[in-house]
Amino acid sequence: MTIELNSPLDMHLHLRDHEMLNVVAPLTSHSFAGALIMPNLVPPIETLDALLAYKERILTVTKNDIFKPYMTLFFRDSYDYDFLKSFGSELSAIKLYPAGITTNSEGGVSGFDVKKLSPTLEVMSELGIPLCIHGETNGFVMDREAQFVPIYEKLASAFPRLNIIMEHITTKESVEALERHENLYATITLHHLLITLDDVAGGMLRPHLFCKPIAKRPHDRDALLDVALSAHPKVMFGSDSAPHPKHAKESCGCAAGVFTAPLALAKLAEIFMEKSSVANLQKFVSDNARAIYNITPLSKKVILEDNPMNVPHNYGEVVPMYAGESISWSIKSIE
């Protein structure tokens, strides 16, 4: 059996830079027509020159594939109209990080004073630039995302013309918030459709499944599955594929991130087939994102087949999810 996907998109992707970029970017560009690239480098992407230079580095290493990087800017409350307008079509979204909440987010927002954030958010509303948010507080780790939902709702109410994307949601509370505000949307990762905290730390610690937001409870995973499998129009696939070298994962102070880029589409095909929802996979991995971001991706046809894929133990220094295991679907061809 085969599944045909037209121009699949990954709407939340970490490519890092330099040697790591060279290793991981082609693993996404091979099978995806485009991806929304996160800006939390060191230093972060916060100028037009930096954005264009990073885009060029991505295009250089993905030149053999049909692939478009959709670029983002690291949020600052000082961005004015002329500054953001100067980006034109080069800017697809702005990513807001709470300070210190995840990898390379130390320069993020401390506190969420709407009045302080308003100048930038008002300009974004006027220019139609989406706001992507890593929504977690500094509370107890299992409660951080749920505690952030009122902040999402406060921002959605204060800026009704601003499209707000709740990134990599992991909780039932976030799913429910989608229905209360017209301008709230969400990305969902592959790994959060599959695992709970028990998979990460219920037995021996599995560092390559440790991520932020951390995996939650079974009822949270079920809520994510419900909206993903039904291709709810306000959710879209965003892998949050986050590569770290093996020594940074298998160490004291384990880095947060799950690397899924090389197997994402194959594993999604397996999930949607098993759940008798394969007719909705195209919407989840492409059509919904096109509507939410108002984009027309490059033309690319990916044919998947129910033929096993053996996942390598590593890609360079990076260990993928399901390393050394077999999954039941694979990519047959790309046109």
Q: Note the pLDDT tens digit of each residue in 294-311.
A: 999 999 999 999 999 999
pLDDT at 108 over 90: no
pLDDT at 105: 83
| Residue 169 · residue 224 · CB < 8 Å | yes
pLDDT at 313 over 90: yes
pLDDT at 101: 85
pLDDT at 91: 98
Helix (H, G, I), strand (E, B) or coil at 84: helix
The percentage of the chain sitting over the pLDDT mark of 90, rounded to a whole number, equals: 95
CATH number at residue 310: 3.20.20.140
pLDDT at 263 over 90: yes
pTM of the model: 0.97
| pLDDT 10s digits, 222-238 | 999 999 999 999 999 99
Does 240 qualify as catalytic in the annotation?
yes
Count CA atoms within 13 Å of residue 2 on its CB side.
10
Q: CA-to-CA distance for 76 and 189, rounded, in angstroms? A: 26
| Residue 272 · residue 1 · CB < 8 Å | no
Cα–Cα separations (whole angstroms), residue 2 to 34, 125, 247, 270, 331? 22, 42, 38, 11, 9
Catalytic residue, from 10, 220, 240, 287: name it. 240
Q: State the residue range of the domain holding 113.
A: 2-334
pLDDT at 321 over 90: yes
Q: CA-to-CA distance for 75 and 79, rounded, in angstroms? A: 8
For residue 53, the surrounding DSSP H or E stretch is helix 48-61
Q: CA-to-CA distance for 15 and 67, rounded, in angstroms? A: 14
pLDDT at 99: 87
| pLDDT 10s digits, 35-49 | 999 999 999 999 999
How many structural domains are present in the chain? 1
| Residue 167 · residue 187 · CB < 8 Å | yes
Helix (H, G, I), strand (E, B) or coil at 39: coil
Burial pattern 163-180, b for ≥16 Cβ within 10 A else e, equals bbbbbbbbbbbbbebbee
CB atoms within 10 A of CB 199: 14
